[in-house]
Amino acid sequence: MNRIVKKKVLAPAVKLIEVENHLIAKKAQPGQFVILRVHEKGERIPLTISDYDREKGTVTIIFQEVGKTTTLLGRLEEGDRILDLVGPLGKPTHLEGLQRVVVVGGGLGTALVFSQVKELHRRGTKVDCIIGARNKDLIILEEEIKPYCANLYIATDDGSKGHKGFVTDVLKRLLDEGNRYDRAIAVGPLIMMKVVSNLTRQYGLPTVVSMNPIMVDGTGMCGCCRLTVGGQTKFACVDGPEFDGHLVDFDEVIKRTAMYREEEKTAMELLQRSLKEGV
Amino acid sequence: MAEPRRKPNLVKTKVPMPAQDPQVRIKNFDEVALGYTPEQAVEEARRCLRCKEPRCVQGCPVNVKIPEFIMLIEEGKFLEAYYKILETNNLPAICGRVCPQENQCEKHCLRGEKGEPVAIGRLERFAADYAASCGEPRHEPTNPAPPKGKVAVVGSGPAGLTCAADLAKMGYQVTVFEAFHTPGGVLVYGIPEFRLPKRVVQREIDNLKKLGVEIQTNMVIGKILSVDELFSEGYDAIFIGTGAGLPQFLRIPGENLNGVFSANEFLTRINLMRAYRFPEYDTPIKIGRRVAVIGGGNVAMDAARCALRLGAAKVYIVYRRSEEEMPARREEIHHAREEGVEFKLLTNPVRILGDDNGWVKGLECVTMELGEPDASGRRRPVPKPGSEHCLEVETVIIAIGTTPNPLIANTTPGLELTKFGGIVVDEATGQTSRPGIFAGGDSVTGAATVILAMGAGKRAAKAIDAYLAARR
Ligand SMILES: Cc1cc2nc3c(=O)[nH]c(=O)nc-3n(C[C@H](O)[C@H](O)[C@H](O)COP(=O)(O)OP(=O)(O)OC[C@H]3O[C@@H](n4cnc5c(N)ncnc54)[C@H](O)[C@@H]3O)c2cc1C
Ligand SMILES: Cc1cc2nc3c(=O)[nH]c(=O)nc-3n(C[C@H](O)[C@H](O)[C@H](O)COP(=O)(O)OP(=O)(O)OC[C@H]3O[C@@H](n4cnc5c(N)ncnc54)[C@H](O)[C@@H]3O)c2cc1C
Ligand code: SF4
Ligand code: FES
């Protein structure tokens, strides 16, 4: 169980691993996540299930090395085991009855919408996909996602590929050109999801975002992942992680995810020092 | 049974429990109460009158044979005393530390009428710790092969552990499914190390494994497998001991500010994830210089005392009734006070104030008066007009109770629930509205006690045995 059967580097600091866990693979659905721990003294961190193979009994996780846990996870190789893996957690995405959808993936978000795009395609939904990143090296999964999209648009901040600018510029253009969608799905940095939601609100386009607050248990037990949606407190791990982007209080979530910034920095510095010393 | 010439120790007070000095212990997470020496235990055991109709036993939810085990301690037969307790209680080292004895056995003890009752809890702890120090040569039962049946236990708190142990002893093949990566329930994620060392819980888990019980961690039932799927996997009966893990919030403004925790989150970070040893352990915890803990139960005391140990300069307990109504154990209130926790009684929070960056900077409260008794029989607190005031704090911990987590209920069709989300059971057997599914502990009663959860686990084990015997 939890053995890494495949590992791939998608972009600098973005890695894909395929992990054996028959039970999770059997149950996983698009939109759900796992919580894992990489060593005995490790933190529990949530990561989206970006793909699963029920026959092989594996789930795929794509993650960005941003701090200690994800860096340690990135150092595991094929054949290594992940200490603890729990899931599938969270509610699956509702993808029923959609004719035409626009999906926006920012940075790593592309990985996180991949399984949804695939599932929508399977159901016969027409998907327009906009993926963006800071520059062309950070665009991931372009080739993989393309076959499932009716149209694929790319935006980079520096213009090294596709449109020069933000994914929201492309989205705005598509909407202004008269493209009609039943739904927008936006996954990426909080600020991107906020901007997308503000834009689609003006067009009355229902928008689903995937929230990534800090979590501990992932089962509704600690309340750490709470956020305000439409004036009500919700727990992202059990009520989400997907919510109506027009109702989420993004500013609050952005503040809450900064709660442990100093500690995260300390942990990372210590890790880098010990990695340098070759421990 | 009593020897004619035995003269009990008639001292009115319990033999004092050695404890770490308050000024020292607020700087560490080591156990506060240090336990009796054999001499102290014998001396305390001599206080028991060996009543013919011992009232203490009736006060014990699992009917531990109290005068009998105390007599064995007096005779220096410490291991025998331990086995005597084990006849009815699987977890004596835990109960001896955390049971609210003052409301149970000790409340009824005859010696309590004139002076202090016999220190039954401390003696129970002594017997268990003594046995552990000898390597605990426990007699393992020989299980029949093939097993009498397969039972799944969901949740590894005291209810689940007790039910699993009893069923294993009866000859069933038992698998425990636990959502967290470590088994033990509240015993590991809630109750802090300084009150219940985790190695004591680990010992009980190891004993369970020796009985042949399999424990599968990282298994959230209702997500990875539903209860019905457990049946189709070949389990003949299921016990649900999933506790009451859903935190309540106050629903007051400011609750999502940075620096506001549910007690569950705060204690889980500290106890299960060992945040007090960050950065050696990876999980952080953030604590301000001044901390307000809202609530008056054991959970609130534990959170307050953890906050002190993390280095807070000032820790308040904010409770809306008076000390008399506080549900926490007396010993814990006493310990908290000794350590310097300040009690703001008859005080109710109305709003959490934040700074521009979204961090807590204060707690606005009102003073309360006690009015007429309410449905619970306790006098109802009512706010005094014009008594608004502000506590300057940077951290607020909400410890006002928990309710059962709806995860299992939502994924198990036909399981009848109470208004507050507890599973409806027949009290004598733990049988739920679904045949073959039993439940007990906090998942049924809402937040209660370790010993009540154990009692429920025991009754359910018996009932499961009867249910499966009838089907054979
Ligand atoms: C439902 C969900 C799904 C996610 N899916 C993915 C994914 O597929 N790929 C991916 O790369 N990232 C994903 N994340 C974010 C990922 O959990 C964090 O990047 C990771 O926890 C960082 O851990 P660290 O120790 O490496 O970094 P740290 O230095 O600890 O933190 C870096 C940042 O990560 C966030 N973070 C830290 N700890 C946690 C925590 N316990 N829970 C949630 N966020 C935390 C904070 O915003 C923090 O500022 C997801 C988050 C959630 C809630
Ligand atoms: C901080 C604190 C201090 C306390 N102090 C005392 C005290 O001093 N004395 C006392 O007698 N009582 C005390 N209590 C209360 C006591 O701990 C509980 O009443 C008791 O633990 C309840 O036992 P349980 O077995 O019903 O549930 P729990 O101990 O809550 O265990 C339930 C277990 O089930 C697991 N679980 C939940 N859902 C699922 C699922 N879907 N799938 C798999 N596993 C699941 C949980 O992770 C947990 O491990 C305290 C409680 C707290 C929180
Ligand atoms: S009631 Fe008190 S004195 Fe009597 S048997 Fe029980 S512990 Fe001993
Ligand atoms: S992570 Fe604990 S409640 Fe959501």
* pLDDT on residue B142: 60
Mean pLDDT of B298-315: 95
What DSSP state is assigned to residue B316?
A: E
pLDDT digits (tens, 9 = 90+) for B14-72: 999 999 999 999 989 999 999 999 999 999 999 999 998 999 999 898 889 999 999 99
Would an 8 Å CB–CB cutoff place A89 in contact with chain B? yes
pLDDT digits (tens, 9 = 90+) for A155-164: 998 888 888 8
Helix (H) or strand (E) holding A190: helix A190-202
Which residues of B fall within a CB distance of 8 Å from A68?
A: 282
Q: What is the pTM of this model?
A: 0.93
Helix (H) or strand (E) holding B368: strand B360-373
Lowest mean pLDDT among A135-144, A170-179, B28-37: A135-144
Closest CA to B113 of B42, B44, B67, B49: B49
Which among B180, B258, B280 has CB closest to A41?
A: B280
Report CB contact under 8 Å: A217, B225. Answer: no
The answer to whether residues B81 and B73 touch, using CB atoms and an 8 Å cutoff, is yes
The dotted CATH code for B22-134 is 1.10.1060.10
Give the type of residue at B269.
Answer: R
Give the type of residue at A216.
Answer: V
Contact residues for B352 (Cβ-Cβ < 8 A; gap 6+): B252, B253, B254, B255, B257, B260, B360, B362, B363, B364, B396
* Residue B330 confidence class, pLDDT cut points 50, 70, 90: confident
Report CB contact under 8 Å: A37, B181. Answer: yes
Would an 8 Å CB–CB cutoff place B223 in contact with chain A? yes
User: By percentage, how much of chain A surpasses pLDDT 70?
Assistant: 99
Instruction: Tell me phi and psi for residue B320, to 5 degrees.
Output: -85, -10
Q: Is the pLDDT of residue A278 over 70?
A: no
pLDDT digits (tens, 9 = 90+) for B424-469: 999 999 999 999 999 999 999 999 999 999 999 999 999 999 999 8
Would an 8 Å CB–CB cutoff place A87 in contact with chain B? yes
β strands within chain A, DSSP E = 4-11, 14-20, 33-37, 45-53, 58-64, 84-89, 100-106, 126-133, 151-156, 163-164, 183-187, 207-210, 226-229, 232-235, 242-244
Report CB contact under 8 Å: B286, A227. Answer: no
* pLDDT on residue B325: 87
The dotted CATH code for B149-245+404-470 is 3.50.50.60
Q: In chain B, where does the domain assigned CATH 3.50.50.60 lie?
A: 149-245+404-470, 247-398
Helix (H) or strand (E) holding B389: strand B389-391
Q: Is the pLDDT of residue B94 over 80?
A: yes
User: Mean pLDDT score of chain A, rounded to an integer?
Assistant: 92
Give the type of residue at B35.
Answer: G
pLDDT digits (tens, 9 = 90+) for A51-87: 899 999 999 999 999 989 999 999 999 999 999 999 8
* Residue A88 confidence class, pLDDT cut points 50, 70, 90: very high
Q: The tokens of A86 are what?
A: 């729990």
Residue among A86, A229, A234 with most chain B CBs within 10 A, to mutate: A86
Residues 416-455 of B with CB under 8 A from A: none
* pLDDT on residue B128: 93
Q: The tokens of B404 are what?
A: 């059962």
Superfamily of domain B247-398: FAD/NAD(P)-binding domain (3.50.50.60)
Round to whole Å and give the CA distance between B130 and B37.
Answer: 9
* pLDDT on residue B47: 94
Sign of torsion over alpha carbons B84, B88, B91, B94: negative
The burial class, CB within 10 Å (0-12 / 13-18 / 19+), for B469 is exposed
Q: Is the pLDDT of residue B213 over 90?
A: yes
Q: In chain B, where does the domain assigned CATH 1.10.1060.10 lie?
A: 22-134
Beta carbons within 10 angstroms of residue B132's beta carbon: 15
Mean pLDDT of B416-421: 90
The answer to whether residues B314 and B290 touch, using CB atoms and an 8 Å cutoff, is yes
Would an 8 Å CB–CB cutoff place A82 in contact with chain B? no
The full length of chain A comes to: 279
Nearest residue (CA) to ligand 2, atom 35: B155
* pLDDT on residue B32: 93
Report CB contact under 8 Å: B274, A86. Answer: no
Q: Which of B50, B52, B53, B56 to mutate to test the pocket of ligand 3 (most atoms within 8 A of CB)?
A: B56
* Residue A40 confidence class, pLDDT cut points 50, 70, 90: very high
Report CB contact under 8 Å: B405, A219. Answer: yes
Instruction: Please give the full DSSP string across A68-99, using - where no structure is assigned.
Output: HHHHHHHH--TT-B-SEEEEEESPPPP-TT-S
